Amino acid sequence: MNSSNLYQPSAYPPSKTALLLLDYQNILVNMIPSPGKEKLINAVETLLATARKNNIAIIHCIMDTTEDPAATNKVTETWASQYKPVFSADPQLGAEFGGFAPNNRSTDRETVFKRAPGIRSGLESEGIVSYLRDKLGAVHLILGGIATSGAILGTMSQGTDVNFVVSVVADACWDPNDQVHRDLIETVIPTLAWVSSVEEAVGYMTA
């Protein structure tokens, strides 16, 4: 490993790489209009299939919709009035999208971490950073998720702050505001992390 390029994803073998899937819950995936929904599903399925085939660590980071946000969190009122009743009426909306959830093809390197609503970063789940770093030996994190302005931005920012190398797979992300998505992918995220195509991310997991 060349010590002069440790900031680059290509510096790390698949054994030091982890795939993080952020908030692909039914309520959010169902918001995506066609053909964007199909494009995102194809992208994530490709990433998952590659990771499972090559024994890459996979972390499913999702909101625990049975919990409430912290009382100090600004989303508390909106959660109580709009979202909590929806999840209470149909808990399946809070479940991870079936095509992405762990299944009989999963290995022991595929794990689910939950966090309370209102927390953007998937790395705020209890124990996840030490799990990634100490148990898995991961240095390079590949991210896909919903929304680009929420879980992706939050996890990317924290990931780089705590010295992970982070790649964001553009086609595996979505935001309800398309202009915000483009601005983040094209301008904001590249200042701190790497924006990758699906093909590039597959290469990082198979190199």
Answer whether 46's CB lies under 8 Å from 6's CB: no
Report the residue count for the chain.
207
Instruction: Give pLDDT, residue 175.
Output: 98
Instruction: Give pLDDT, residue 191.
Output: 97
Block means of pLDDT (10 residues each) for the chain, 207 residues, are: 80 97 98 98 98 97 96 96 96 97 89 97 97 97 98 98 98 98 98 98 95
Instruction: Give pLDDT, residue 176.
Output: 97
Instruction: Give pLDDT, residue 181.
Output: 98
State the pTM of this model: 0.96
- Rg over alpha carbons for the chain, rounded to the nearest Å, is 16
Instruction: Give pLDDT, residue 96.
Output: 98
Total Cβ atoms within 10 A of residue 193: 24
Instruction: Give pLDDT, residue 29.
Output: 98
* Full strand arrangement of the beta sheet holding 194-196: 110-115, 57-63, 17-22, 140-146, 165-174, 194-196
